[in-house]
Structure 1
Amino acid sequence: MIVDDEVFAVLMAIVIVSCAIAIAMTIPRKTEPFSAIGVLNEMGKIGDYPRTVVSGSPLKLNVFIDNHEGKATAFMVLVKLGSRGNIPSNTTPLSSAPIWNYTIVLNDGGNITIPVELNLSGEGKNIAIVFELWEFNSSRWVYTGRWCHLYVNLTRGPYG
């Protein structure tokens, strides 16, 4: 059986495309490592956050940490208080002292939701409750540039 030039060209194109697809599928893909942090409400869900907190009353939230760094990583969450215009950036953490912290080692692909109970005192509007994510880099804790925050109004209780 004789194959004419057009049929041969189509067959060669199919073979070349098949080889290219097979090579592309076998080359290991390098994913960019990342970690994530998120603040969740008392029920562990996104949204429906408290807007007003009574001074001295417990504020219950959750913080979610997700590790895709490609290795087991030690993380530390620091909770700090700020205000509008006084929150961290992706390069600089908030300068205020932590009011709560949590340290954990997560395997690659691991995540955890951590219950947080805070007792805030005083009063003020637009208090920023800031959650910063830090990681240990073999010799010291380093700010990852990942953070989230929640604004609340802090009021005095009926007896305070």
Structure 2
Amino acid sequence: MVAFRSLWLLLPRPLRQLPADLAAVVVLVVATNVAALAPVIRETPLRVPLGLAFVLFVPGYAFIAALFPEAGESPDRSDEPDTPTESETAEGADSDGWYDAVSSRSGIDGLERVALSFGLSIAIVPLIGLVLNFTPWGIRLVPIAVSVSGFTLVSAAVAAERRRDLPVEERFQVPYRAWYAAGRTELLEPDTRADAALNVLLVVSVILAVGSVGYAVMVPPDGEQFSAIYLLTEDDEGELIADDYPTELVQGESQELVVGIDNHEGERTEYTVVVLEQDVEVVENETAPESGDPNATVNETVVQEQRELDRFETTVANNESWHQTYDLEPTMTGENQRIVWLLFPGGDVPAEPSMADTEYSVHLWVDVSESND
């Protein structure tokens, strides 16, 4: 307890003075960023529930807290004045008293805050994404996380400052102590046995519902597990595209490409990439009896010579992509040279790798001419 109090006193005074609900907002923002960006934690299912709350509720709640720092009351009929008698009505008594009382409320109640928090979050996050789409950072995980976190923390700071400017009795506060006391009384001190049985049934139902949803979110069904390797190039604007691959190279001169790897193996995976340079010949067989057409032919690619240009290793997290610039520098000359990138998950590479040793590969056909030097 002493150690905890010492750590608490180390926090800046504004953080220690945050209201409970705004402190929870800050904690959730920090926890979500850690779960989404930390190298090891981001691979766990923990980021799913935190991310849903972070995107669908927290930004809107912080924004509503900044707009309405004061407490509000539910618009119930208790605000209506006593029902006028017939004589009072005949004399022109004000029949709009309840409407005037409700319309004069300065704050909103808890239920309205929750509803507006969901609605505003669904509106705010896409708007932030739209703005990011026109920036150099684009719509990616880190820019989205930083932008939504910044908006939420700024809104929480404004909300805390506006609440401090109000008298204590007018500030909005989450009545969690009252909720706890009421729940404890209902569960542990029921009026009748029937109420006790219903309370137990309600608790069990809630636990089963939360457990089922949590299990479905935290342990999603296993889908197809696979990896992928591909080649990209940069266009004039610096964007990566799967087009405009080089077709003519010069021996000894390098050509820049981008090698990409996608990991959908269900776990963090180590990869080995082997780059082969092949001098191939396409042989046309006379007939293909299995096709049923006596005039059909089958082309067969025969590797005349093969050299290993390069190999490198990398580790990619589950459901993540890895891009790396690669300088291709062929050594053999001739037409229809085939450059092959072989991907080996797990790092098990044969002594003389070929396309038959892995199901993941990508290749490029090029004509390589001799250098003029």
Aligned partners of 1:157, 1:61: CA distance in 2, in Å? 20
8 Å CA contact 2:277–2:330 kept in 1: the answer is: no
Residue among 304, 312, 328 paired with 1:118: 328
Partner residue of 1:74?
Answer: 270
Aligned partners of 1:152, 1:42: CA distance in 2, in Å? 18
Structure with the larger RCO, 1 or 2 (CA within 8 Å, 6+ apart): 1
Residue among 37, 41, 48 paired with 2:233: 41
Equivalent position amino acid for 2:372 in 1: P
Flag as ranges the 4+ runs of structure 1 deviating above 6 A: none
Q: Does 1:64 align with 2:274?
A: no
| Structure label with greater radius of gyration | 2
List per-residue Cα deviations over 1:124-158 (Å, max 9, x = no partner). 00100101100217xx4475411010000000123
Equivalent position amino acid for 1:59 in 2: Q
8 Å CA contact 1:42–1:60 kept in 2: the answer is: no
Equivalent position amino acid for 1:39 in 2: L
Displacement of 1:86 after TM fit?
Answer: 4.1
List per-residue Cα deviations over 1:28-83 (Å, max 9, x = no partner). 53301111010112553211011100111112111100001000100011110123
Gaps of 5+ in 2: 1-215, 282-300, 351-356
Q: Equivalent pairs: percent with the same residue? A: 27
Aligned partners of 1:155, 1:129: CA distance in 2, in Å? 15
User: SS of the residue aligned with 1:30?
Assistant: coil
Scaled by the length of structure 1, what TM-score is found? 0.69
Equivalent position amino acid for 2:327 in 1: E
Equivalent position amino acid for 2:364 in 1: L
Aligned partners of 1:136, 1:104: CA distance in 2, in Å? 10
Partner residue of 1:104?
Answer: 314
Equivalent position amino acid for 1:66 in 2: D
Change (3 A) 1:146 1:58: same
Structure with the higher fraction of residues in strand conformation: 1
Q: Does 1:31 align with 2:223?
A: yes
